[in-house]
């Protein structure tokens, strides 16, 4: 039986949302709070050695990235023995970037899918 334990959640910092521009947290953060999972909300990952060290100390075997929207540096990807799974809710590369689901609807696509890639950094 496969047993997984979430050792941390990395999500975007809370930001203003809606007409009232009320500070709002991501649904991922709400889930993490309800399930007592440590939360990390770095302003940036690149050139942020303190954050990289915090993640390293989690001793996670694998990372799963879902709709994060930022390029992850090699220093981050190298932290995970089994690499990093990237899940993207669209046909890549057709709808790379912001609003992939909205663009598939606007363009009248009748089929779409959720793409995933496994990233692993090797020297050479």
- Average pLDDT value for residue range 31-46: 92
Model confidence pLDDT, tens digit, residues 43-91: 999 999 999 999 999 999 988 887 777 788 889 989 998 888 877 777 6
The pLDDT score that the predictor gives to residue 92 is 65
Please, what sign has the CA dihedral across residues 77, 63, 12, 6? negative
Tell if the pTM clears 0.75, that is, is over it.
no
Evaluate whether 79 touches 55 at the Cβ level (below 8 Å).
yes
Q: Over the chain, what is the mean pLDDT?
A: 83
Q: Is the pLDDT of residue 31 over 60?
A: yes
The pLDDT score that the predictor gives to residue 124 is 43
């Amino acid at each position: 039986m496969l047993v997984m334990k979430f050792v941390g959640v990395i999500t975007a910092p809370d930001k203003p949302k809606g007409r009232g521009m009320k500070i709002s947290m991501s649904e991922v953060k709400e889930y993490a709070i309800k399930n007592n999972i440590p939360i990390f909300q770095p302003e940036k990952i690149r050139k942020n050695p303190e954050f990289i060290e915090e993640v390293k100390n989690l001793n996670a075997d694998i990372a799963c990235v879902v709709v994060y929207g930022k390029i992850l540096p090699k220093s981050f990807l190298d932290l995970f023995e089994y690499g990093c799974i990237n899940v993207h809710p669209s046909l890549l590369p057709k709808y790379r970037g912001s609003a992939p689901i909205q663009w598939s609807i606007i363009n009248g696509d009748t089929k779409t899918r959720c793409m995933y890639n496994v990233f692993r950094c090797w020297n050479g």
